[in-house]
Chains A and B, each alone.
Chain A
Amino acid sequence: MIGGLFIYNHKGEVLISRVYRDDIGKGPFPNCFHKVGSTESYRMRNAVDAFRVNVIHARQQVRSPVTNIARTSFFHVKRSNIWLAAVTKQNVNAAMVFEFLYKMCDVMTAYFGKISEENIKNNFVLIYELLDEILDFGYPQNSETGALKTFITQTGIKSQSKEEQSQITSQVTGQIGWRREGIKYRRNELFLDVLESVNLLMSPQGQVLSAHVSGRVVMKSYLSGMPECKFGMNDKIVIDKQGKGGATEEQSIAIDDCTFHQCVRLSKFDAERSISFIPPDGECELMRYRTTKDIILPFRVIPLVREVGRTKLEVKVVIKSNFKPSLLAQKIEVRIPTPLNTSGVQVICMKGKAKYKASENAIVWKIKRMAGMKESQISAEIELLPTNDKKKWARPPISMNFEVPFAPSGLKVRYLKVFEPKLNYSDHDVIKWVRYIGRSGIYETRC
């Protein structure tokens, strides 16, 4: 039960403020110098200010997404320079609140593109309208973009006929709220993206300290009628079940946990572990999953740091790509932190470009493309200024960014079948596209 939702810009000014419950703002919040217990609006400002003072303008950067101030919880997500904060006085399900906030971001992106101060200011009427629809008295409601778009439009006022109105009502309140009837496409097409981000923390000796992949299957469908779809992948449980019948050589993966879009029939997944659904029109995130076993690590980083006296540091970093030579990794960026008393840096690298960025206290090495099973090296000489501080440099880890055209978890799409009994097209007529993208999440190696 969310008490209120605020959107701030980077200065802490409130762009959107929607209060659902009056209990928030009953402070007393520390550091907020308003009269306590005066008018309602005053009290609400109290909560607004509390978040600004204690989170946005906090002395230390606030890293926790949940902040408790005077028995009031503030859940926030940040998109570029914009803060979205949900406020509640009750003991709510935090995961639910964040799910809602992410959904809210998705909805806003779907309506007006990038979430920026400019866009929010230009669309504030729309945002209030959306908030009215997707949150009732603090309880999240239908937040499916496709469905919302049927009745919250940006194209001016179009008086709807009675039939249309009743259709909207029946659809929104009906069993399949995410898809309206009577959709028709000349070409039935569907796109499937497997997007994964791989996270790693590795010791200097190359020992994996923690690694996991979080992935999403995003589906974009342009299908007529009310198609019934079935999605299959190399899930270990399913494969093992089938494996009893016929021998398959296919690799299978163990999924630690997964969540589905509301259109997926969970009962069927529980019983048969098959994923069947009627997809919403347009784009949707079909499932989300996480794996921790048998991860293919696309890159290995080998650091070598040597301190030469008090005023010099020698750094050598080798990266090795560890996938099929036919594939090409892209947008590779290695970030090597430098000590805080660096006074000069010389860099030599074999491939790509490397530069010392003083503003970030790091050497940034960029490589545009790199094929699999290759290795590349950078060496740097760092000059240090002697300081009065006896503190030793903490040696933050070397981090890395990249993009590879495969799924590091090993997930494979086996099939996606479409059945539409009422209309005259079959599974074969649908044009299907599958794409795998593996990105780096927090990919760090200690040095």
Chain B
Amino acid sequence: MPAVSKGDGMRGLAVFISDIRNCKSKEAEIKRINKELANIRSKFKGDKALDGYSKKKYVCKLLFIFLLGHDIDFGHMEAVNLLSSNKYTEKQIGYLFISVLVNSNSELIRLINNAIKNDLSSRNPTFMCLALHCIANVGSREMAEAFAGEIPRILVAGDTMDSVKQSAALCLLRLYKASPDLVLMGEWTSRVVHLLNDQHMGVVTAAISLITCLSSKNPDEFKTCVSLAVSRLSRIVSSASTDLQDYTYYFVPAPWLSCKLLRLLQCYPPPEDGAVKGRLVECLETILNKAQEPPKSKKVQHSNAKNAILFEAISLIIHYDSEPNLLVRACNQLGQFLQHRETNLRYLALESMCTLASSEFSHEAVKTHIETVINALKTERDVSVRQRAADLLYAMCDRSNAKQIVAEMLSYLETADYSIREEMVLKVAILAEKYAVDYSWYVDTILNLIRIAGDYVSEEVWYRVIQIVINRDDVQGYAAKTVFEALQAPACHENMVKVGGYILGEFGNLIAGDPRSSPLVQFNLLHSKFHLCSVPTRALLLSAYIKFINLFPETKATIQEVLRSDSQIRNSDVELQQRAVEYLKLSSIASTDVLATVLEEMPPFPERESSILAKLKKKKGPGAVSVELEDGKERGELNGGGDRGGDAAIAASNASTPSPSADLLGLRSTAPVSGTTPSAGSLLVDVFSEAGPSATSAGVNDDGFLSSAPPTVASEDPAPPLPESDELLNKFVCKNNGVLFENQLLQIGIKSEYRQNLGRMYLFYGNKTSVQFVSFNTTVSCPGELQSQLNVQTKTVEPLVEGGAQVQQVINIECLTDFIDAPLLNIKFRYGGALQNISLKLPVTINKFFQPTEMAAADFFQRWKQLSQPQQEAQKIFKASHGMDTEVLKAKLLGLGTALLENVDPNPENYVCAGVIQTKAQQVGCLLRLEPNAQAQMYRLTLRSSKDTVSQRVCDLLAEQF
């Protein structure tokens, strides 16, 4: 150590930095750095001892060089040496170097950890803080491993200085975030909570960040913090602005701490203790009151701090959602911000209001601000604020103001930013559908939507219009008229053409009476758009034309002419060409009766969740679901069926929504089945899917062809079960998956899973031929008393199974009480006109509902003895039909569903199992003993259970297995 202190100026460093700054080019800089590095290297050579000041200076220079982007591969040792210095400045530089240039050299790490440990155990608070900061800055796993145990001790120790406690809390927070598994909860956790009561506000602020993070992971352990936080909050809120001295920020007492407290409270539900709750409500009221007071300062910091607390309080109020009074007040205060000069405040107010709108208590209060919000949408300069305004309008919309809001949103759409147009379109479409009382209004709105923002109207939106028009008789004529008028515009969007084509094709006849919209006029209007459209639209238009032929026979010649033209019949696109050819033939060959049947009006669509809603959800992510759930509840209004609302809500909360294309394609299925025919995907927009190429390939005479009515179920009685079905049944006693049945035509695969008294079975019907099965129908029946023992629910399968395709059927099984028989599966379908009828036994046996039970030898024998009544026991002695391999035997016994108990039976050759059969009515304990006799190739099987029928049945089943 030199006698004279050179101060902290570090002139050499300043000179070096200014040299670097003055360098004209990169090369010059590199030269200067190389020179300096050589100089430092010669100083660090080791033959002369460096004093602390120089060491610090050179380490600083190295750090600077490193931060300029050059590699540093030495100097770590000197930095570590600095750590053991007693001077603050030297120690600080040492820590700085270490935390910037972390080195994985294990030798060094050991030294560093040692130095940190020394500092942590020193009584000097500044050194402790430096060490803690270094740990937090590095924050690596190694650091966590070394110090995760030490820091909580420092944090909760009674004699630790306040400033050290602060650092320790934040350091621990950092380590916890980096490697949560290493920071173990312990007895310190409860003491951490009590830091909320600390005298020092800084400690409380630091501790609360830690507690918030910890309690979000394990809320139960920190439950006590709620009351502490509330009391702390109330002390701050009720204090005068001068009470907290250092922690008063522009006349606001401890704003950061207040915000953090409020945020911590948001991790928990409203306090159950009445007193605490009362105090909290009082606090929140005070905060709301204070926000109303005239500002104590004109400075922006003052209002920022005040508003921060206010907004945090409002989010807490929204989080609790239980105090109508507070909610309404919050809403009114936010209303004042809607016209505030500050853009940020307006944004925040709109955002918070969106959540308020979803609360039943404040929905009405939010609605009073509709004019302001609409104004914001129109005049706001900032696009993100406009977006929020649109969101809020969407959230506050209900039956009373729907017309106004939809009109405003539509008019805004014309000038809206491109980035939010698609979302706006979806919202308008949803609102229009949800609150449509008058369906002509709905049709007008959507057509307007397509007109204004056609590019942003997704497929789902126009699918939905068509679905609704088809399902509502009263609006069809109006829709046809409106569409016809809309199409008359010189330039109309392709989506409009699609809607127009579809609706005129279906309901053109409703307006054909008017000479201005006579059939030929309609056709010419549609055809004038034909050449400007893309291939899928043209395909749709061709289908509309064939429908025209049916609706208006007088247009037949004209349309046939069009279809016959080279541009159609020799179109390079295969889809268009095929349609043109088939429609032309159809129109010329088929009689009017056939035509009328084939081209009958589309049947109503099955009601289901609006695909638009699903799309919006996908766009917005899971955050928006809460609003959407609300939608689901109210959807019943529109879609007729009153009890559908609940279903929709469930569907809405379900993440996987049905694929949108299924909406128009799955016309004939009464319920969507996930495994539809593979060719369906290619006909994405083919709304007349019956007329598609796949159907025609089956031949014109097929009675199923082009009939849009639901398929008639074959009326023949189910065939008796196949003779081999009992054998099939035995195959599945010990396994759950496999092939159940196979012949030349059909293969049935099975996959099943059981839990307690419930089971689910997936049946896969594979068409092995290249020709489709028509009228495919399966039924599951429970003969005789099985009906009361087993509850079987099936979902209907698609009536068409394409050649080579596979369809899936789900069967849900509930075991009410024990049973003996198996349910019957009857399959009927037409293959090439001939009716096929197959009956099988479904492999549902009583042992499927086994729950394995582990028990010790003593337990086993005690229970065994308890079940000693003669009818409780079933015994069979039989000859082995398969080999007596132990592994195979074990696998079979496990497959049975019971637990295989080892070391129970005194004879190791014997097998002992235990299990409980779960039925809805009761649980039947079951013990099993299998004694093989290798010489005689015989088995003795003994079963004891609390119910005689069960013992007998399981014994019978099992005897077939060995």
Give A368-410 interface residues, CB cut-off 8 Å to B: 383, 385-389
Asked if A360 lies at the interface with its beta carbon under 8 angstroms from chain B, I say yes
Closest Cβ–Cβ distance, residue B774 to chain A (whole Å)? 56
Question: What residues on A are CB-neighbors of B74 within 8 Å?
Answer: 341, 385-388
Question: What residues on A are CB-neighbors of B45 within 8 Å?
Answer: 343-344, 383, 385
Question: What residues on A are CB-neighbors of B108 within 8 Å?
Answer: 388
Asked if A423 lies at the interface with its beta carbon under 8 angstroms from chain B, I say no
Please tell me if the beta carbons of A341 and B25 are within 8 angstroms of each other in the complex.
no
Closest Cβ–Cβ distance, residue B69 to chain A (whole Å)? 8
Please tell me if the beta carbons of A389 and B41 are within 8 angstroms of each other in the complex.
no
Most buried by A among B31, B38, B69, B108: B38
**A360-B34 contact given A81-B25, A341-B41, A344-B42, CB 8 Å threshold:** yes
Please tell me if the beta carbons of B38 and A343 are within 8 angstroms of each other in the complex.
yes
Bitwise interface map of B from 20 to 63 toward A, beta carbon under 8 Å scored 1, else 0? 00001110000110110111011011100000000000000000
Asked if B547 lies at the interface with its beta carbon under 8 angstroms from chain A, I say no
Q: Which of B34, B42, B73 makes the CB contact (< 8 A) with A389?
A: B73
State A344–B44 Cα separation when bound (angstroms). Answer: 11
Question: What residues on B are CB-neighbors of A59 within 8 Å?
Answer: 69
Please tell me if the beta carbons of B44 and A341 are within 8 angstroms of each other in the complex.
no
Give B32's nearest chain A residue, CB to CB: A359
Asked if A143 lies at the interface with its beta carbon under 8 angstroms from chain B, I say no
Give B85-115 interface residues, CB cut-off 8 Å to A: 103, 105, 108
State A71–B73 Cα separation when bound (angstroms). Answer: 39
Question: What residues on B are CB-neighbors of A358 within 8 Å?
Answer: 34-35, 37-39
Asked if B841 lies at the interface with its beta carbon under 8 angstroms from chain A, I say no
Question: What residues on B are CB-neighbors of A361 within 8 Å?
Answer: 34, 38
Q: Which of B34, B41, B105 makes the CB contact (< 8 A) with A359?
A: B34
Asked if B76 lies at the interface with its beta carbon under 8 angstroms from chain A, I say yes
Closest Cβ–Cβ distance, residue B699 to chain A (whole Å)? 56
Please tell me if the beta carbons of A385 and B34 are within 8 angstroms of each other in the complex.
no
State A340–B32 Cα separation when bound (angstroms). Answer: 14
Give B41's nearest chain A residue, CB to CB: A343
Closest Cβ–Cβ distance, residue A120 to chain B (whole Å)? 16
State A378–B428 Cα separation when bound (angstroms). Answer: 87
Q: Which of B24, B26, B38, B73 makes the CB contact (< 8 A) with A342?
A: B38
Question: What residues on B are CB-neighbors of A388 within 8 Å?
Answer: 73-74, 76, 103, 105, 108
State A54–B86 Cα separation when bound (angstroms). Answer: 48
Asked if A10 lies at the interface with its beta carbon under 8 angstroms from chain B, I say yes
Closest Cβ–Cβ distance, residue B577 to chain A (whole Å)? 39
Question: What residues on A are CB-neighbors of B34 within 8 Å?
Answer: 358-361
State A394–B44 Cα separation when bound (angstroms). Answer: 23
State A385–B47 Cα separation when bound (angstroms). Answer: 11
Question: What residues on B are CB-neighbors of A385 within 8 Å?
Answer: 41, 44-46, 74
Question: What residues on A are CB-neighbors of B46 within 8 Å?
Answer: 385
Please tell me if the beta carbons of A10 and B25 are within 8 angstroms of each other in the complex.
yes
**A343-B44 contact given A388-B73, A388-B103, CB 8 Å threshold:** yes
Closest Cβ–Cβ distance, residue B19 to chain A (whole Å)? 11
State A423–B12 Cα separation when bound (angstroms). Answer: 74
Bitwise interface map of A from 398 to 440 toward B, beta carbon under 8 Å scored 1, else 0? 0000000000000000000000000000000000000000000
Give B105's nearest chain A residue, CB to CB: A388
Closest Cβ–Cβ distance, residue B554 to chain A (whole Å)? 53
Question: What residues on B are CB-neighbors of A342 within 8 Å?
Answer: 38, 41
Question: What residues on A are CB-neighbors of B69 within 8 Å?
Answer: 59
Please tell me if the beta carbons of B31 and A360 are within 8 angstroms of each other in the complex.
yes
Closest Cβ–Cβ distance, residue A10 to chain B (whole Å)? 5
Please tell me if the beta carbons of B42 and A343 are within 8 angstroms of each other in the complex.
yes
Question: What residues on B are CB-neighbors of A10 within 8 Å?
Answer: 24-25
Give B76's nearest chain A residue, CB to CB: A388
Question: What residues on B are CB-neighbors of A359 within 8 Å?
Answer: 31-32, 34-35, 38
Give A338's nearest chain B residue, CB to CB: B38
Closest Cβ–Cβ distance, residue A18 to chain B (whole Å)? 25
Bitwise interface map of A from 79 to 94 toward B, beta carbon under 8 Å scored 1, else 0? 0010000000000000
Give A10's nearest chain B residue, CB to CB: B25
State A359–B19 Cα separation when bound (angstroms). Answer: 13
Give A303-352 interface residues, CB cut-off 8 Å to B: 340-344
Most buried by A among B31, B69, B103, B105: B31
State A389–B34 Cα separation when bound (angstroms). Answer: 17
**A341-B73 contact given A10-B25, A385-B45, CB 8 Å threshold:** yes
Give B34's nearest chain A residue, CB to CB: A359
Question: What residues on A are CB-neighbors of B42 within 8 Å?
Answer: 343-344
Closest Cβ–Cβ distance, residue A78 to chain B (whole Å)? 11
Please tell me if the beta carbons of A387 and B39 are within 8 angstroms of each other in the complex.
no
Question: What residues on B are CB-neighbors of A340 within 8 Å?
Answer: 37, 73
Question: What residues on A are CB-neighbors of B35 within 8 Å?
Answer: 358-359
Closest Cβ–Cβ distance, residue B654 to chain A (whole Å)? 41
State A344–B46 Cα separation when bound (angstroms). Answer: 12
Closest Cβ–Cβ distance, residue A381 to chain B (whole Å)? 14
Closest Cβ–Cβ distance, residue B496 to chain A (whole Å)? 30
Q: Which of B24, B26, B38, B73 makes the CB contact (< 8 A) with A387?
A: B73
Most buried by B among A59, A81, A340, A359: A359
State A359–B20 Cα separation when bound (angstroms). Answer: 13
Question: What residues on B are CB-neighbors of A386 within 8 Å?
Answer: 74
State A344–B45 Cα separation when bound (angstroms). Answer: 9
State A386–B41 Cα separation when bound (angstroms). Answer: 10
Give A57's nearest chain B residue, CB to CB: B26
Closest Cβ–Cβ distance, residue B35 to chain A (whole Å)? 4
Closest Cβ–Cβ distance, residue A349 to chain B (whole Å)? 20
Question: What residues on A are CB-neighbors of B105 within 8 Å?
Answer: 388
Give A362's nearest chain B residue, CB to CB: B34
State A359–B23 Cα separation when bound (angstroms). Answer: 13
Give A391's nearest chain B residue, CB to CB: B73
Bitwise interface map of A from 176 to 208 toward B, beta carbon under 8 Å scored 1, else 0? 000000000000000000000000000000000
Closest Cβ–Cβ distance, residue B41 to chain A (whole Å)? 4
Give B31's nearest chain A residue, CB to CB: A359
Question: What residues on B are CB-neighbors of A344 within 8 Å?
Answer: 42, 45
Closest Cβ–Cβ distance, residue A312 to chain B (whole Å)? 12
Bitwise interface map of B from 65 to 87 toward A, beta carbon under 8 Å scored 1, else 0? 00001000110100000000000
Question: What residues on A are CB-neighbors of B38 within 8 Å?
Answer: 342-343, 358-359, 361
State A10–B29 Cα separation when bound (angstroms). Answer: 13
Question: What residues on B are CB-neighbors of A360 within 8 Å?
Answer: 31, 34
Most buried by B among A358, A383, A385, A386: A385
Question: What residues on A are CB-neighbors of B41 within 8 Å?
Answer: 341-343, 385
Closest Cβ–Cβ distance, residue A356 to chain B (whole Å)? 8
Closest Cβ–Cβ distance, residue A341 to chain B (whole Å)? 6
Closest Cβ–Cβ distance, residue B206 to chain A (whole Å)? 36
State A389–B46 Cα separation when bound (angstroms). Answer: 18
Question: What residues on B are CB-neighbors of A61 within 8 Å?
Answer: 26
Closest Cβ–Cβ distance, residue A339 to chain B (whole Å)? 10
Closest Cβ–Cβ distance, residue B58 to chain A (whole Å)? 12
Closest Cβ–Cβ distance, residue B87 to chain A (whole Å)? 25
State A81–B23 Cα separation when bound (angstroms). Answer: 13
State A10–B32 Cα separation when bound (angstroms). Answer: 17
Question: What residues on A are CB-neighbors of B39 within 8 Å?
Answer: 358
Closest Cβ–Cβ distance, residue B123 to chain A (whole Å)? 33
State A80–B45 Cα separation when bound (angstroms). Answer: 37
Closest Cβ–Cβ distance, residue B599 to chain A (whole Å)? 50
Closest Cβ–Cβ distance, residue A320 to chain B (whole Å)? 31
Q: List 16 A-B contacts (CB under 8 A).
A: A59-B69, A81-B25, A341-B41, A343-B38, A343-B45, A344-B42, A358-B35, A359-B32, A359-B35, A361-B34, A385-B44, A385-B45, A387-B73, A388-B76, A388-B103, A388-B108
Q: Spell out B's residues near A (CB within 8 Å).
A: 24-26, 31-32, 34-35, 37-39, 41-42, 44-46, 69, 73-74, 76, 103, 105, 108
14 further interface pairs, Cβ-Cβ under 8 Å (given A10-B25, A361-B38)? A10-B24, A340-B37, A341-B41, A342-B41, A343-B41, A343-B42, A343-B44, A359-B38, A385-B46, A387-B74, A388-B73, A388-B76, A388-B103, A388-B108
The 10 A-B residue pairs with the shortest CB-CB distance in the complex, in nearest-first order: A358-B38, A359-B31, A343-B41, A359-B35, A389-B73, A387-B73, A343-B45, A358-B35, A387-B74, A385-B41
